[in-house]
Structure 1
Amino acid sequence: MKKRSRPSASTSGRPRFWGRHAVAAALANPARRSVRLWATRDAAARMELPKELTVTFADVADLGRLVPADAPHQGLVLEVEPLEDVYLDELLAGEDNRPLLVLDQVTDPHNVGAILRSAAAFDAAGIITQDRHSPPESGALARAASGALELVPWARVVNLARALDEIGEAGFWRIGLAGEAERHLADTLGSAKVALVLGAEGEGMRQNTAAHCDELARLPISDRVESLNVSNAAAIALYAAATRG
């Protein structure tokens, strides 16, 4: 159904995604329920839109009122329902050797989005976060993920330490990335399934989280740089896991 009207602010609480990659990925995901699309006619003509989707045509200025200031919507704004919950045991049930990423209080949606993109690029089995200390689905996160939000399973848990216990019991070697660790990451990666644990920028991993890892490791970065952005560290760690001998 297509119509023309002036967009209004959302009162539904549903996430709104913007930009071609995030919108196209959400529309292509059979597990995602898309509610309504606002689009310029030119942008809509470039998309394959489900016939049942409500499409409201609007100009660029009106679309700008639906998203944060200066958000690069590229003529597309999609309101969606959040994805259904993924449970930890679903991620642990896989028989392959793909790594897991565990994020300890990484709350910046741009960082989590970038981590999801790297997780998709290196075929990670999924990411795990603590529900109270991780960002909700949002346009900014989906934009940073560039479609990977629809591809990488994301389990939110109540207690991260308890989740790490379950991960260990499932046969994963839990490696926490910490700048003070003595060994390099490459030296700690064996042939077992691995869970890579990363802490928030600045604070790093909490002590209790580190205590629930099998081993701590560091990346071989220059002394001229104190640390890496957590999304960059995640990408390097995933590459190391993907290319281990």
Structure 2
Amino acid sequence: MSGPEHWIWGRQPVLEAILAKTAHSVLIARNVGAGQSIHSIEKEATRAGIPIQRVDSSAIERIAPGAVSQGVAASVRLALFTEVADVLDQIPNDTVALLVALDRVQDPHNLGAVLRSADAAGAHGVVFPARHAATVSGGVAKASAGAMHHVKMAQVTNLARSLEEIRRRNIWVVGLDGHADRSLFNVDLSVPLCVVVGGEESGLRRLTRDHCDILARIPMRGLVSSLNASVAAGVALFEAVRQRGE
């Protein structure tokens, strides 16, 4: 399913959007020099038949007010699913499922960083709620370094119901909880897996916890009691990668 059109900015996110065939048009500020990254954007956009327009820098500033745009922006249309089944159905039969679910993660930078880690770990998708949570945007694209254009995403109306659907597919649902008795590093993550990460303020909601097969904590050695949501997701994803010997 194609989602609404969004503006993104930054040279790497725009280049990744072009390569992923999600970009529809590209804007480049007239005062931007012809460096290697701009050359790559122009070359790949031309090859893909995507129109490029040179504009005043103020036009890009209106699209990305206060952001570090690097003088480049693009309009994109992403494949944003509304049902988790649409993501699950695309997991190849010969691979071990690896998913991330976010429970009301509200910071766009955290969502972008999770997408970046998910792409790097080879995850099959990221699931997040449609309400009270960060959604796809130019800021998310920038924070993801373009990974947003490569990771399958499901923006669902009911996260608990989506977790139940994941469990019905024989995928083990592991919720990250700093107060859990069991260490994440003592949990078998080599099985089909969905890691659930709680929101920045309150962590996992009770209903979300109830739909997890197990709760596990990331051991902390310092004085700070918890990790940033995106860092926690990255730790869990790459522990799964390590256990799978990949």
Fold conserved between structures, TM > 0.5:
yes
1:27 and 1:197 map into 2 onto residues whose CA distance is 31
What's the TM-score once normalised by structure 1's chain length?
0.86
- Post-superposition offset of 1:107: 1.6
Alignment of 1:167-206 (within 5 A): 167-206=166-205
- Shift of the 225–78 alpha-carbon distance from structure 1 to 2, 3 Å rule, reads same
- Post-superposition offset of 1:153: 0.4
Name 2:14's counterpart in structure 1.
Answer: 23
Give the % identical residues: 35
Secondary structure class of the residue paired with 1:42: coil
- Post-superposition offset of 1:133: 2.9
Amino acid in the other structure paired with 2:69 = H
Asked whether the 8 Å contact 1:104–1:197 carries over to 2, the reply is yes
Alignment gaps of 5+ in structure 1: 1-12
Name 1:55's counterpart in structure 2.
Answer: 52
Name 1:39's counterpart in structure 2.
Answer: 29
- Post-superposition offset of 1:157: 1.3
Asked whether the 8 Å contact 1:171–1:192 carries over to 2, the reply is no
Name 2:68's counterpart in structure 1.
Answer: 72
Secondary structure class of the residue paired with 2:123: coil
Name 1:8's counterpart in structure 2.
Answer: none
Alignment of 1:1-245 (within 5 A): 14-30=5-21, 32-40=22-30, 42-43=33-34, 44-47=38-41, 48=43, 49-50=45-46, 52-69=49-66, 71-85=67-81, 87-93=83-89, 94=91, 95=93, 96-244=95-243
Amino acid in the other structure paired with 1:140 = G
- Post-superposition offset of 1:134: 2.8
1:223 and 1:142 map into 2 onto residues whose CA distance is 32
Deviates more, 1:194-203 or 1:50-59: 50-59
- Could you say what the CA RMSD is over the residues aligned between the two structures, in angstroms? 2.0
Report the count of equivalent residues.
231
- Shift of the 197–185 alpha-carbon distance from structure 1 to 2, 3 Å rule, reads same
- Shift of the 46–188 alpha-carbon distance from structure 1 to 2, 3 Å rule, reads closer
2:214 and 2:124 map into 1 onto residues whose CA distance is 20
Residues 131-183 of structure 1: CA distance to partner in whole angstroms, max 9, x if unpaired?
A: 11332321110000001001110011111111111111101111100011000
Report runs of 4+ in structure 1 exceeding 6 Å deviation: none
